[in-house]
Structure 1
Amino acid sequence: MSENHEADNGRKNRSRTGMSRRTLLRGSVTTFGLAAGGVLFSAGSARALDIYNPFSAYQITGSWQEHLDRGSLGGIDYGMGVGTALPAAGAGVVTNIPYNGTGGHTVTITHSDGYRTQYMHLSEFLLPDGTSVGKGDIVGRSGGAAGAPGSGSSTGPHVHWHLITPGGTRVNPLNYLGGGGGGGLPKTATEQDGVPGPVMWRRTQNWLRIESGYTGPIDGIPGPNTYAALQRNMRDWGYTGPADGAPGPNTWAAVQRLAATHGYTGPIDGVMGPNSWRGFSRFINQDRWD
């Protein structure tokens, strides 16, 4: 398998995940109104509901308004291949709902003070009910193929996402994006499962923005600009080739040298596999790249 193909597989974020158990977010949110920037006002003080958009790297195939226009209670559809790993939008506790009517297999994450995010049309549940997860942990795999078990009424592969208030009203999660008093990027589950995906690449792009002159979007979709910045940075790790945005074995061998400083013990052969990605992700998960 070529290195570029491995990167493509990473974009699809297919995961055999191993879960970390990061701390549940602290503080409570009782909403009385929404201000610009996703801050919810509560009892005279402002706090943020600590969620992010884990699907920003995917195309919206059904907007919130389009759902309302056809009589739905609302939701956002993101097109993605069956089996794509679904990160938690925020810390919370998992509840699985098999064959949830038209929504099919549904995973619910209950956040602080009763807010819930839901993902529908799953092909697979990965965690038992009651599991505590951190923001970015993988909670299931997407589905939606017409007629497949768990797809509900879906006619094509995608995930349906919405947020439910403590009072039980379904709302658009994009209106509630906060940051938990500082925000920052979520940690990547690649450190556990060894599968590169959008969160890992977003963190990588942010690291390269800080250190190596990357000026493109922090979108989790690596392209020539991301790879060229990576090659510039890898000169500190033995890479001597051009910064041409087309990584090959010499680029990835340098990445493995970096990964070796964070627990990677395999060969420096320029062939990135799960252990190489785990070591690299231990580096990229450092708080300074949030």
Structure 2
Amino acid sequence: MTKDQQSSRPGMSRRSILRYSAAAAGIAIGGAGLVTPASASDFYNPFTGYPITDGWWEHISRGSLGGIDFAMGVGTPLPACGGGTITNIPYNGTGGHTVTINHPNGYRTQYMHLSQFLLGNGTSVGAGAHVGLSGGAAGAPGSGSSTGPHCHWHMINPSGTRINPLDYIGGGGGGGGTLPKTSTESDGIPGPIFWKRVQNWVRIDAGYTGPIDGVPGPNTYAAMQRYLAAHYGYGGPADGAPGPNTYAALQRLAARHGYTGPIDGVMGPNSWRGVARFVNQDRFDRV
């Protein structure tokens, strides 16, 4: 196996947290009483330790406005992804108990299906402050339409459009830019561009936070296994060590994209072509 060269996304620096907390509290700058606008660097992903059970595009494909679902037990503290002020929305339709963090730059982030609010409306918080407790147990107060414990997370931009928070934050350290399409779709040979697109896929859909460097290792494979477990029948551990069961699930994914061979866990050119057609989707172009 290729030596792992991945790294976990670091949390915000203490300086960034302190700076952002000050902005959220409305500290005057130069005596003018202005608030420093936030940027993507002022936010972080507080849920990197939890598996994604439903990705952004899975929500979109079934008619949702979009979101990311992270599996976690009821009562898990939910850290603010950035500083701002709190608005609580009890029994928010299908979203159940919803906490909104209103950020100084006009963006809002929301966590849904809470079991409990922790702060009052108008409370100023810094990044990492606990704003509620997760819920989602079917039929429990505040769960909305949820059928199992999890936290749903999305972001709303200043124009009121719901967006993927990991796209805004940068979610995987890809460095920005656009990836070319992989030639694996034609030649069936996975190379660095193919693996960059795979890493971008699992960044967007499966919580991968390592580099987009085209060098797959345990973190890439573990994120892929989490996605395959949620959607393509993989029943093994997300241990970052792919074997026949992982590859059989990957072939089931490929079968949705033109692969017609056996589901035998033995990857060949036709299997890789099917996967390449999946990762060559336009939505995986931008990093």
TM-score range, shorter chain: 0.3 to 0.5
TM-score when scaled to structure 1?
0.47
TM-score when scaled to structure 2?
0.48
